[in-house]
């Protein structure tokens, strides 16, 4: 019989006192693969087993059905603490206390369904990652009350909703990742901090109304890829003066709204890859102040028509990507306003031959026309143009 259990039974028989619940049985503390620093046969806490020396990383491995109050306390010498594949079914409030040395704390691959109120208290963490817990559906209000955490990941769980004020007291939060859950909507009050980056990729969102993200004008990056988004309010991203990167790929968007991005003057990367967009309308991106524009990605849509003034107003572009669409016409005038462009990708479309002055058609440093049905006359015309000094060494890629 394990010694702790024997002492508990003896205590009960002699004086009737109660024994504390045991969290740890045959659990290991490891600093790396096959690097075990302690094995806990049976105990209520890991405190006596912690090495006295500073550690960059410590993993607690082995099955832990329940973490009781004060199970993991006084962690002052470890920078990165991980609970890994423990099959935890419940975390009691107060299980974690005094993490003065811990900067990052991970809880991954366990079986609890709920994060309860006051689970993390006032732990002085910079990064908290609660990920790949595929039965975690519920966050109680107050479960994440913590004024110290700067980066929070709740990715790859089973969250269906976010309580209205669940992040309200996380006043230092800068990065929030709730990717790969089952969220169907986002409350306008989802967080009150000065967020810089948010990731809502691979959820079940269907629309983005006004007042969700543009309330957070400190945001620099918003990732909404891999959802089921069909509707985006015309003002959804207005006046986001710090926004640099917007990812809307792998959704069900059918139209580009030229009213998007008003007052969003720092936008550099717009990703709309793998949607159901059928055309580039007039002045589609005219609201983008584009001195620093790096990418407009429209790959893998259903675009057939590009308006003659679809890209009007764009001056400088790093990459304009339109591959794997149904474009059958490309005219020299389409990029008339563009002064500098590094890459124009028109590969895998239906273009028989670009029309107009080739000096304007091929103004990009590199133009990709591979996997288009270019007619023989066009191929010869391109070859002859490339031999001219006027080509300025620009690269044109074809299958010929």
> Is 147 in contact with 170 (CB distance < 8 Å)?
yes
Is pLDDT of 232 > 90?
A: yes
Distance CA 307, CA 281 (A): 5
Distance CA 149, CA 195 (A): 12
Is pLDDT of 9 > 50?
A: no
Distance CA 175, CA 162 (A): 16
> Is 267 in contact with 294 (CB distance < 8 Å)?
no
Is pLDDT of 7 > 60?
A: no
Is pLDDT of 190 > 80?
A: no
Which residues, listed in sequence order, are joined to residue 261 by a DSSP beta bridge?
A: none
Strands 138-139 and 175-177 come out as unpaired
Is pLDDT of 10 > 90?
A: no
Distance CA 299, CA 324 (A): 6
Domains of the chain listed by start with CATH number = 277-400 (3.80.10.10)
* Phi (first) and psi of residue 332, to 5 degrees: -55, -30
Give the pLDDT score at 18. 44
Least confident of 88-92, 112-116, 165-169, 232-236: 165-169
Is pLDDT of 104 > 70?
A: yes
Strands 366-368 and 395-397 come out as parallel
Classify residue 298 as exposed, middle or buried by CB count within 10 Å of its CB (0-12, 13-18, 19+).
buried
Average pLDDT, the chain: 91
Classify residue 388 as exposed, middle or buried by CB count within 10 Å of its CB (0-12, 13-18, 19+).
exposed
- What does the pLDDT average to over 93-103? 93
- What does the pLDDT average to over 304-313? 95
> Is 165 in contact with 187 (CB distance < 8 Å)?
no
Percentage of the chain lying above the pLDDT 90 cut: 77
pTM of the model: 0.91
Residue 358, helix vs strand vs coil: helix
Is pLDDT of 15 > 50?
A: no
Least confident of 64-78, 153-167, 187-201, 212-226: 187-201
- What does the pLDDT average to over 259-274? 95
Q: Which segments of 128-283 does DSSP mark as H helices, in order?
A: none
Give the pLDDT score at 19. 53
Locus of tokens 């044109």: 396
Strands 72-73 and 55-61 come out as unpaired
Handedness of CA 282, 287, 293, 298 (dihedral sign): negative
Is pLDDT of 16 > 50?
A: no
- What does the pLDDT average to over 85-99? 94
The pLDDT tens digits of the residues spanning 35-85 come to 999 999 999 999 999 988 999 999 999 999 999 999 999 999 999 999 999
Least confident of 15-29, 227-241, 255-269, 296-310: 15-29
Least confident of 36-40, 153-157, 391-395: 391-395
**DSSP code of residue 333:** G
Is pLDDT of 345 > 60?
A: yes
- Of 9, 3, 55, residue with least CA distance to 32: 55
The two most distant CA atoms of the chain are separated, in Å, by 101
Is pLDDT of 6 > 50?
A: no
């Amino acid at each position: 019989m394990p010694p702790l259990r024997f002492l508990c039974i003896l205590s009960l028989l002699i004086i009737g006192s109660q024994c504390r619940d045991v969290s740890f049985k045959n659990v290991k503390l490891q600093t790396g693969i096959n690097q075990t620093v302690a094995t806990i046969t049976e105990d209520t806490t890991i405190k006596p087993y912690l090495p006295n020396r500073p550690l960059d990383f410590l993993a607690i491995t082995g099955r832990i059905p329940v973490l009781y109050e004060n199970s993991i306390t006084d962690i002052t010498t470890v920078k990165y603490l991980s609970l890994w594949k423990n099959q935890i079914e419940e975390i009691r409030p107060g299980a974690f206390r005094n993490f003065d040395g811990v900067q990052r704390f991970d809880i991954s691959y366990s079986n609890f369904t709920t994060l309860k109120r006051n689970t993390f208290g006032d732990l002085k963490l910079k990064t908290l990652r609660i990920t790949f817990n595929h039965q975690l559906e519920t966050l109680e209000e107050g479960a994440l009350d913590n004024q110290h955490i700067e980066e929070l990941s709740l990715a790859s769980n089973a969250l269906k909703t976010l309580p209205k004020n669940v992040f309200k007291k996380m006043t230092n939060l800068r990065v929030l990742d709730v990717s790969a859950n089952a969220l169907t909507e986002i409350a306008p009050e989802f967080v009150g901090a000065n967020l810089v980056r948010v990731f809502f990729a691979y959820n079940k969102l269907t629309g983005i109304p006004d007042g969700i993200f543009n309330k957070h004008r400190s945001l620099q990056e918003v990732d909404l890829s891999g959802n089921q988004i069909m509707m985006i309010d015309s003002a959804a991203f207005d006046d986001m003066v710090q926004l640099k990167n917007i990812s809307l790929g792998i959704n069900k968007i059918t139209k580009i709204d030229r009213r998007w991005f008003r007052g969003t003057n720092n936008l550099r990367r717009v990703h709309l890859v793998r949607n159901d967009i059928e055309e580039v309308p007039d002045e589609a991106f005219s609201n983008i102040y584009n001195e620093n524009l790096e990418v407009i990605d429209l790959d893998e849509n259903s675009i057939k028509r590009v308006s003659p003034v679809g890209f009007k107003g764009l001056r400088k572009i790093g990459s304009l990507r339109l591959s794997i669409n149904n474009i059958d016409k490309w005219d020299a005038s389409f990029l008339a306003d563009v002064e500098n462009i590094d890459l124009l990708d028109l590969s895998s479309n239906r273009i028989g031959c670009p029309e107009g002055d080739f000096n304007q058609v091929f103004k990009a440093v590199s133009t990709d026309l591979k996997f288009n049905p270019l007619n023989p006359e066009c191929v010869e015309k391109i070859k002859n143009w490339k031999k001219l000094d006027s080509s300025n060494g620009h690269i044109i890629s074809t299958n010929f």
